[in-house]
Structure 1
């Protein structure tokens, strides 16, 4: 397994990024200002983008695993890498997700705790309804891990 930082041509990973954030204009808001990491193990398995939000806070803006390799631990391995990578320059890591049990439980399994929510985030910021696990997303749930 190898995790590489991607510093140029980040749009080459757009297809994978769209799995976690299905509107390209939303990805464009953070892609270039974020640090991108790709996890490889006999090919690309997962990708993520992390931004600095100031005051030692970093946020996972996008994390996605190729569909054929989901639920095999690659997302967790990438998050574990991020905690190690940012440990000396971060006081907390945030991640926002849809209000669905599968996503929230994944991040809790990775050491995050529910922090707060942004009401109507998905309905106010996307040009079409977003669905996950069969339900329409409305609020963004933020989870946080303190270093």
Structure 2
């Protein structure tokens, strides 16, 4: 699928964040509410479909942005939307002189996401064992595999 009609833009402060999309990547509204006010939120819009994807970036340390949420509407998944959004965010980080490193983390059971992030240039840095078991009241499963551990990845960002 080509994405000539898709646009990625930063969400305006006056616009509500697409909570239904954010919840696809993080099932806890409480967790989302903890990082959303401090995040730069980018949305992907496609022609008349409206917002079909979201990506939230949180400054965590000087020169470091963490991608804390990336999600695509279920009807648009597996069509390259997440890849397009992440490429735009990486390009933004390269243009932003204050950004030296992008970080992202996902569950051990998120195999498609782990593959995508590595294809885009992220490298695994460390694993937090039992992260999801300790922080979420209900077990999370993806494709029959329990999501237990948080896998951290990072990318050094050369100035663009």
Shared fold (TM-score, shorter chain, > 0.5): yes
Q: Which residue of 2 aligns with 1:14?
A: 19
Give the TM-score taking structure 1 as reference length.
Answer: 0.93
| CA deviation map 1:23-58 (0-9, x unaligned) | 111111111110101011112221111000112111
Q: Which residue of 1 aligns with 2:125?
A: 115
1:69-108 matches, cutoff 5 A? 69-87=76-94, 88-100=97-109, 101-108=111-118
Q: Which residue of 2 aligns with 1:58?
A: 65
On the 8 A contact 1:98/1:132 being kept in 2, the answer is no
- Aligned partner of 2:142 among 127, 132, 135: 132
Give the TM-score taking structure 2 as reference length.
Answer: 0.86
* CA-based RMSD: 1.3
1:49 aligns with 2:56: yes
Determine the C-alpha separation between the residues in 2 that align with 1:28 and 1:116.
25
Determine the C-alpha separation between the residues in 2 that align with 1:68 and 1:102.
16
Q: Which residue of 1 aligns with 2:3?
A: none
Spell out structure 1 runs of 4+ moving beyond 4 A: none
The structure number with the bigger radius of gyration is: 2
| CA deviation map 1:61-80 (0-9, x unaligned) | 00000111111111111111
Determine the C-alpha separation between the residues in 1 that align with 2:100 and 2:153.
14
Structure 2: gaps of 5 or more residues? 1-5
